[in-house]
């Protein structure tokens, strides 16, 4: 909500028509959340971040998948069925209060986090991380790992990435040019 307000001030007009429906919905939800709720949420995120950083500080890097499932076709994550109906109702009819219903909000958030929950962890903790494309599936789809490091220690991650680059051969790999079917 704050980012949308700031952008509207910067360009001198509303930007709601320029953004995706899901972003409008989240912006409206942000307008409903009280400062106390934001503060409590930030306190929980900071506490979890501190625990994660403490638990992983002894390691140069912690490796995890970048994505939870193989890459999807363009548009595969677009809302469909009930998700699309909920987003449309919330957006077109300004029924943002529906998102206060935890199962409804959870249903919308679960889909996003289903695919990319590991990178989100380090977006919250502030730890440096880097995605390393280390594998290509039989179908030619790239799969990678994410290496997360200590706060302020980007140098170690970049060194790891350089070493992985040398041994994996990813610089020599090129995806075949594929023209989408009409």
The answer to whether the predicted template modeling score (pTM) of the entire model surpasses 0.85 is: no
* Distance from C-alpha of 41 to C-alpha of 29, rounded to nearest angstrom: 14
Cα dihedral: 24, 25, 29, 31 (round 10): 20
Question: What pLDDT does 8 receive?
Answer: 95
Spell out the domain ranges in the chain.
33-168
Nearest Cα to 114, choosing from 153, 79, 154? 79
Find the Cα–Cα–Cα–Cα dihedral 21, 25, 26, 32, rounded to 10°. 160
Structure-token pair, residue 1: 């909500």
Mean pLDDT by 10 residues, the chain (182 residues): 94 91 83 91 94 95 87 78 78 76 74 76 90 82 88 95 86 72 69
The pLDDT value given to residue 176: 66
Look at residue 87 in the predicted model and tell me its pLDDT: 76
| pLDDT of 166 | 86
Distance CA 53, CA 50 (A): 5
pLDDT of residue 55: 96
**What contacts 39, CB < 8 A, 6 or more positions away?**
none
Residue 175, pLDDT score: 63
Tokens of 18: 């320029």
Residues in Cβ contact with 166 at an 8 Å cutoff, skipping those fewer than 6 apart = none
Q: What is the pLDDT of residue 146?
A: 93
Neighbours of 86 (CB within 10 A): 20
């Amino acid at each position: 909500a704050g980012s949308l307000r700031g952008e509207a001030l910067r360009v001198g007009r509303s930007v709601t028509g320029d953004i995706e429906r899901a972003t409008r919905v989240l912006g409206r939800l942000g307008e409903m959340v009280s400062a106390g709720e934001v503060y409590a949420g930030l306190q929980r995120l900071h506490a979890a971040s501190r625990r994660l950083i403490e638990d992983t500080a002894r390691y140069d890097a912690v490796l995890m998948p970048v994505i939870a499932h193989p890459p999807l076709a363009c548009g595969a994550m677009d809302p469909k069925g009930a998700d699309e109906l909920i987003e449309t109702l919330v957006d077109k009819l300004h029924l943002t209060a529906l998102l206060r219903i935890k199962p409804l909000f959870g249903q919308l958030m679960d889909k996003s986090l289903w695919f990319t929950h590991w990178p989100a962890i380090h977006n919250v903790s502030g730890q440096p991380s880097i995605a390393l494309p280390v594998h290509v599936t039989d179908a030619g789809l790239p799969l990678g790992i994410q290496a997360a490091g200590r706060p302020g220690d980007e140098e170690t991650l970049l060194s790891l990435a350089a070493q992985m680059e040398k041994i994996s051969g990813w610089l020599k790999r090129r995806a075949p040019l594929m023209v989408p079917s009409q």
